[in-house]
Amino acid sequence: MFKFIIILPFSFIIWFCFVKIFSKNEESLINVLTKKVFSDFSMVFRNILNILDSLFKNFIQTYELLGLIFKNVVEIFKSLISMVFQFINLFKVIGITLMSFISLCKGLYKETKNISLFNNFEIILSQNKFAKNNVVKLIAFKGDDLNTKKVSSK
């Protein structure tokens, strides 16, 4: 199980980097979806911190109010109801985040289908051959230039 928790995020990161590097579309849906996922993750973390803060405050309030339980029953129920609403809000934000993550995966899959590695490698090889041909032409031109100078100096 621990290996699965480690392997899954790394394979997703590799897939994401692969699509970002080899994608032909510069203004793709991937950039928009990535921003959406990161903003949703930040909302999840903020809600988790709010819940932890609320739980800590509720624990302290509950401990203090044990002596005054008959006077402060309403406050205890209000804080517990507030915590329940925060849990509901957390589950809503987690659901939205999962939906945006699924949309990101769909976009990555669509961009992956558009990438043709054979064409990309063919373009890279043709650029290398073009550069090699230019160097060979330059050397041949300089060699011809040196041969003409030797002939004219005799």
Q: What is the pLDDT of residues 122-152, one digit of tens each?
A: 666 666 555 556 655 656 655 555 555 554 4
Distance of CA 135 to the CA centre of its chain: 41
* CA pair distance 76, 23, nearest whole angstrom: 55
Cα–Cα distance, 151 to 49 (Å, whole number): 85
Residues 115 and 19: beta-carbon distance below 8 Å? yes
**Using one digit for the tens of pLDDT, what is the confidence trace for 27-38?**
667 777 778 888
Q: Residue 72 in 3-state DSSP?
A: coil
The residues, ordered by sequence, that sit 6+ positions from 72 with a Cβ below 8 Å of its Cβ are 65
Tens digits of residue pLDDT in 37-73: 888 888 988 999 999 998 888 888 877 767 677 666 7
- Asked whether residue 9 is domain-assigned, the answer is no
What is the enclosing helix (H) or strand (E) of 98? Answer: helix 73-114
Per-residue pLDDT band for 92 (boundaries 50, 70, 90) equals very high
Q: Is the pTM of this model over 0.75?
A: no
The answer on 124 and 57 residing in a single domain is: no
Identify residue 123 by its one-letter amino acid code: I
Whether 69 and 126 map to the same domain: the answer is no
Residue 113 has pLDDT above 90, yes or no: no
Q: Do 99 and 120 belong to one domain? A: no
Residue 109 belongs to domain spanning? 28-115
Q: In the structure, what pLDDT confidence band is assigned to residue 78 with cuts at 50, 70 and 90?
A: confident
Say whether both 96 and 34 belong to one domain.
yes
Instruction: Quote the pLDDT of residue 41.
Output: 84
Rounded Cα distance between 120 and 21, Å, is 11
Cα dist from 43 to 89, 97, 122, 151, whole Å: 10, 9, 44, 79
Residue 22: what pLDDT?
Answer: 73
Specify whether the CB–CB gap between 62 and 76 falls below 8 A. Answer: yes
Q: What mean pLDDT value characterizes the chain?
A: 77
> Domains in the chain: how many in total?
2
